[in-house]
Amino acid sequence: MSNPIVIPSLAAVGDYVGKDIGCSEWVTIAQDQIDAFAEATGDHQWIHVDVERARRESPFRQTVAHGYLVLSLAPALMEQVGRIEGCSSVINVGFDKVRLKQPVPAGARVRMHVRVKAVRDVPRGGRRVVYVLSFEVEGVPKRACIAEAILIYYP
C-alpha cells in the first residue's frame, strides 16, 4: 500500500498548488467489474460487455472499460494518494475537462496520478481545490483519462 501524503490543514493546501502529490497503487479492471458497471449504468454497449464480439470486431480485439468506470475509481484511489487533515466534510462538486484519451482493456492495471491545480476560499471557511487526475494504464505511455476534479473541503 502507498503512503498517502497528509496535508496538515486546509490553510496548508495552498502550498501544494502546481505540485504532484503522488499516485495510487495499481488496480486491475476486470471484466466482471466492467459487467457490473454496465448493469449499474445501463450501458451495455458490446465493446464493453461482449467478449466474443469484441475479439472479432473491435479495433482493440478485446473488451474495454467504460470511460466513466475509469473515472469512477477517483474517490477510492484518491484515498491512497492523500488527504487534508482538519476537515469535517468534503463535497464533490464535479469534474471539468474530462478527456478519455486511451482505451483501458479488460484485465489492464491502472493507477491515478494527482496534482493540485488550484485552491481558493469559499464561504463558511471552506476551500475549493481543483486536482488534475491522470489515469495511467500499465505499459502504455499515453494516459487513459485526464480530468480536473473539483472538491470543496470544510473545517
The domain locations on the chain are 5-29+64-154
pTM: 0.91
56, containing H or E segment: helix 51-57
CATH class, 5-29+64-154 region: alpha beta
At 82 the pLDDT is 94
At 2 the pLDDT is 64
Per-residue pLDDT tens over the stretch 90-125: 999 999 999 999 999 999 999 999 999 999 999 999
Phi–psi pair at 114, nearest 5 degrees: -130, 135
Q: Is 124 left (phi over 0), alpha (psi -120 to 50) or beta?
A: left
SS3 133: strand
At 51 the pLDDT is 96
- Give the Cα separation of 90 and 4 in Å (integer): 17
- Give the Cα separation of 34 and 148 in Å (integer): 23
Does residue 43 have a pLDDT over 90? yes
Per-residue pLDDT tens over the stretch 136-155: 999 999 999 999 999 999 99
